[in-house]
Every structure is written in C-alpha cells, then in structure tokens.
Amino acid sequence: MKAKDKFNGFRGSIVMPGGRVGVLLVHSLGGNPIELRFIAQGLARQGYTVYCPLLPGLGGGTDVSGLSTWKDWYQAIETAHDELKARCDTIIVGGLSAGAMVALRLARERPSEVHGVMLFAPTIWPNGWAVPRSFYLFKLVHQKWFARLFHFRQRAPYGIKDERIRNFVIDSFKSDERPIEDLFGRGGGLVFEFKQLAKDVRRGLSRIKQDVAIFHPRQDDQSGLWNALTLQKNLGGLVECTVLDDCYHMVTLDRQRSIVVDRAVDFAVRLTQKLQEKAAVKELLKGKGVGE
C-alpha cells in the first residue's frame, strides 16, 4: 500500500484502496472487520475504496475494562469517516448487526456527507429464535453498574447456518489462541451500551433520508425479521430489502454471502449513477441560471 493510501486510524482494520467512491463498513457488537472481508473484497473489485475499522469498545477484546460507551464507538466511526472523506467524494456506510445502528447514526448526523446506507442483518434488539428468553429481562435493566453483573453467551448455531463455515470460524479463533469467549460472549455492560445506542437511533429514523439497502435472513437466529421491517417502515428515504432464505444472522459469512455481495455491489453502482445524474442535472440548471 502506498503511503498516501494508508489510514492512520485503528489497528486491526481492513483497508482496500480504490477510487473516489468509498464504502465505510462497521462490524458487529464484540466482532471485528474479518466479518466483513468478503463484502469488502467484492466492493473493492469494482474499484471502490473500502474501509472497515476495528472500533475501540465495539470490537471484541478492545474494552477489557468495560468503560467504553456507545458515544465512544460513534466518535470512532466519525474519525474513520473523516479519514475516508479525505480520499473520497462519495461515501456509502454499512453495518453488520449492531454495527448497522452505528452506521445509521452516522447517516443521520452527517446527511450531506453520507450518500447511501447498507445494512446487513440490522439489529435494533436481539430477538431471534436462538436468543434465550431470559435475555428479554435485560430490557428492565436501567443502570450500567447493574448491567455489568450480567454476562451473555450465544448459543449454537452462532449466527451461521452452514456447519462447515461455522467450524472454520471456530477453528480460526482456536488457531489464533484467542479465547472462544471473545467470539461468543458479551458482557452486560457492552449490551447495555448497545441498548442505549439503539434507543437513540430509533428515535430519529425518519430523519435518515438516504437510500438504504437491507439484507436480512428470514430465519435469523439472533435478530428476527422484525428488525428489518421496523427500519423499512420508519426510515425516511427509499428502502429496498432483500430477505434471505438459506442463512442465519451472519449474512456476510454464511452460505448466501455471494448473493449479499452481488446485490450490495449492484446497490452501490445504481446509487453512484443516481448521484452522478443528479449532479449533472444540477450543473446543467446552474449553467442556465436556474435557481440563482
């Protein structure tokens, strides 16, 4: 990578240099950018600059003390967005699971600098069929000190329907000598901060006017289809939704990931063309003195 292409932000991030259209992707709660590598590669092959930062606090193993807040995560994505803006004229943001809430907040707070949104199994609240019923009691927790007394562990199939892929992910963690708890465990404090973030984002969904593409599994084991339908109903812009029928929560890794990549690329291409046409019309009208 050339020096001018280097990003100064966060260790553990994925950067794929390309043209003046950039895609900023946010990983899941307790996850990491590897979850998004397949999507990133598909977009990069089309010439886009792709940046998947490992966000401190949101990423697995990056907040050992448990002191980070959702505002820290958001500040980090703003920093990543600023880095990408320095290289790109058009920026699409995307997020996986809880990362979708971070992406939506950025779109809401920076409407003129975020031009489109892609959401992969977006999660307003974990309510899939594999989530223990006892988890719903956590909605009654309103203090972080109390939330930190909880610890949640995901149950099989861990968001991945394809057994071969699931075993590969587990084996990769073992080979890195990382605790399996990094992959499947979530502290109560982390979940509490996510709940606060989702509450903030949900209050302002109608203010998000950008075009949005949603990819969600019909049988999501972690976050039911209600999450996608709620966003489709309440977002303020044009929303297209792809419902997947042969994968679970980790749509960027599971067996229908190729469909997700193809449609994500198609969305990015159509959005870019739409923006270019809009800019051309604006320039034409300006040349004719319209609106001056």
In tens, the pLDDT along 185-207 reads 788 889 999 999 999 999 999 99
Residue in 43, 44, 70 with CA at minimum distance from that of residue 57: 70
Helix (H, G, I), strand (E, B) or coil at 209: coil
Span of 107-111, 180-184, 238-242 with lowest mean pLDDT: 180-184
Residues 263-279 pLDDT 10s: 999 999 999 999 988 88
* Torsional class of 12: left (φ above 0), alpha (ψ -120 to 50), beta (otherwise): left
| pLDDT average, residue stretch 269-292 | 81
Residue in 207, 248, 271 with CA at minimum distance from that of residue 120: 248
Residue in 78, 97, 39 with CA at minimum distance from that of residue 216: 97
| pLDDT average, residue stretch 43-51 | 97
3-state helix, strand, coil in the chain (%, to 5): 45, 15, 40
The fold of 10-127+193-287 is Rossmann fold (3.40.50)
pTM: 0.91
Mean pLDDT of the chain: 90
What residue segments make up the domains of the chain, in order of their start? 10-127+193-287
Q: How far apart are CA 193 and CA 107, in angstroms?
A: 20
Q: What per-residue confidence (pLDDT) applies to 4? A: 45
- What percent of the chain has pLDDT above 90? 68
